Amino acid sequence: MKWARASVLSLGFLLLGLLVVPAMALLVAASPAELAQGVAHPLFGPSLWLSLRTTMLSLAIVVVCGTPLAWWLASAQGWPQRLADALVELPIVMPPAVVGIGLLETFGRSGLLGGPLELLGIQVAFATPAVILAQVTVSAPFYVQAAAAAFRRVDPDLLLVARTLGQSPVGAFARVAIPIAMPGLVSGGALAWARALGEFGATLLFAGSLPGTTQTMPLAIVLALESDVRAAIAISLVLAGAAVLLLLGLRLVAGLRPSDDATSRSKLS
């Protein structure tokens, strides 16, 4: 019995090692001097700045548009809600390359909307807006799902009490539902931002890899591998560091999260 348990645990630790060792190998792949040279590479700065700009914009779009959608998914019932819930999850199960082709067929020159937009002088494909659209498409499900799960924990009676105290439906939502669901909203937003930061496949096919315009950090890694591996390692370490900080932040938020009842009483008092 003990032998069988040890064998099962060894398989689990083998998987854990597979998850951890690549990150450790990345840390020791280059010396500090080589990393400094990688940071000074012409690919590093523009790709970092573009990734920061586009991911912040895509996150803002996801939060502004995804919050009311998540509230509707959490509060509504019936087949429309179930259908919408399935459609939200669709970009998660589709390969990123398929998402990129779909966006290209929608906003490209010969796409459904690309032609009319081009007549208005608006170019989407292979431009910075394409990067943002790709990031929004692949990251929105993570925020909407987390936000909907957080909104489902809001007691409907609390909203009724807020209404009896003179709050409008929007006021009750903003002053009661949002604060209670805030930890889930923050976690969902963080996951969505991380997914947008690491987006590669859809961006490459829909936006291309144009330096300073559509070349985000994941795309710059591929190009840097062809010329200077030090730059690829430096960019990879930035992305890995962002992931680690994000994970620690989410753990901290989860640890500091107050109980729903205490939050509810404080917001109604």
Which spans in the chain are helix H?
2-27, 32-39, 44-75, 79-93, 96-107, 114-119, 128-151, 156-164, 169-172, 178-197, 201-207, 217-227, 229-256, 260-268
CA 210, chain centre distance (Å): 22
Question: Does the structure show a pLDDT above 70 at 264?
Answer: no
Cα–Cα dist 194/247, whole Å = 10
Domain positions in the chain: 41-268
Burial of 261 from C-beta contacts in 10 A (0-12 / 13-18 / 19+): exposed
Calculate the average pLDDT of the chain.
86
Asked which of 129-133, 143-147, 187-191, 253-257 is least confident by mean pLDDT, the reply is 253-257
Domain 41-268 classification at class level: mainly alpha
Cα–Cα dist 269/98, whole Å = 50
| Gyration radius from the chain CA atoms | 22
Q: What is the pLDDT of residues 137-153, one digit of tens each?
A: 999 999 999 999 999 98
Q: Give this prediction's pTM.
A: 0.86
Please report which confidence band the pLDDT of residue 261 belongs to, taking 50, 70 and 90 as the band edges: very low
Q: What is the pLDDT of residues 9-44, one digit of tens each?
A: 788 888 888 888 888 888 888 788 878 888 888 889
Cα–Cα dist 211/208, whole Å = 10
Whether 184 contacts 144, CB under 8 Å:
no
Asked which of 7-11, 13-17, 71-75, 212-216 is least confident by mean pLDDT, the reply is 7-11
Cα–Cα dist 181/178, whole Å = 5
Question: Does the structure show a pLDDT above 60 at 257?
Answer: no
Identity of residue 254: A
H or E element that contains 211: none
